[in-house]
Amino acid sequence: MRAVIRGFGELLITLGVIILLFCGYQVFWTSLQAKSAMNRENSQLREQWEGGAGGLKAFSPGQGFAIIHIPRLGADYEKPILEGTSLDILDKGVGHYEETAMPGEVGNFSLAGHRLTHGEPFRHLDKLRKGDYVVIETADFWYTYRITTNPYIVLPSDTEVIAPVPNRPGKKPTKAMITLTTCHPWYSSEKRMILHGVLVSKLKRSDGPPPALQS
């Protein structure tokens, strides 16, 4: 009996080690891989833009088309934005909800990003507050949005947060807005953390970064 108990205990220890290794892989290794991939995507986008590929148009799922900057999260914070929000796309960067507005357009430019694992681009989204800025860099323009809400929590079924006018489905938009979404709490997808903002400036990319990225 003691041998059985000892063997069972060793099995539990082994399983615990395997689980810890898997968690480490999910949290750290996938993030290292994803961050490297995001940096490559940013570089490729800028090379394309410098080569003359520009202008907003329809994008295929998984295609990168912009870079998001959030000064509150660091001067070096910049993540690629890809079309679509499927898990395989979110593993490579920030995803754009298809059928929502594009950068600078009247409506609700809505984005999703992982809070943990796979580069965790929205890991610290809870640090943003009213008045903070989010800058979207595209081939031709810099779009600066000012955050107008503090982070708040909803259920995944509350899809009205990405309506053309957030939380007012059916209402016609008159402003260019942005919505950022991520999972809440950490280690769970039970709920969603949401922030909204409004467009405050549009500058030519050739003129250099906007004031929000210079201060």
Q: Which residues are catalytic?
A: 114, 183
Residue 108, Cα to own-chain centre: how many angstroms? 15
Spatial CB neighbours of 119, under 8 Å, sequence gap ≥ 6: 30, 31, 34, 35, 37, 38, 79, 91, 92, 93
Cis peptide preceding 185, ω within 30 of 0: yes
DSSP 159: G
Classify burial at 162, counting beta carbons within 10 Å of its beta carbon; exposed 0-12, middle 13-18, buried 19 or more: buried
What contacts 160, CB < 8 A, 6 or more positions away? 166, 167, 168, 169
Half-sphere exposure of 103 toward its Cβ, with a 13 Å CA cutoff?
27
DSSP 47-87: HHHHTT--S-----TT-EEEEEE-GGG-TT-EEEEEE--SH
Q: Enter the DSSP assignment of 154.
A: E
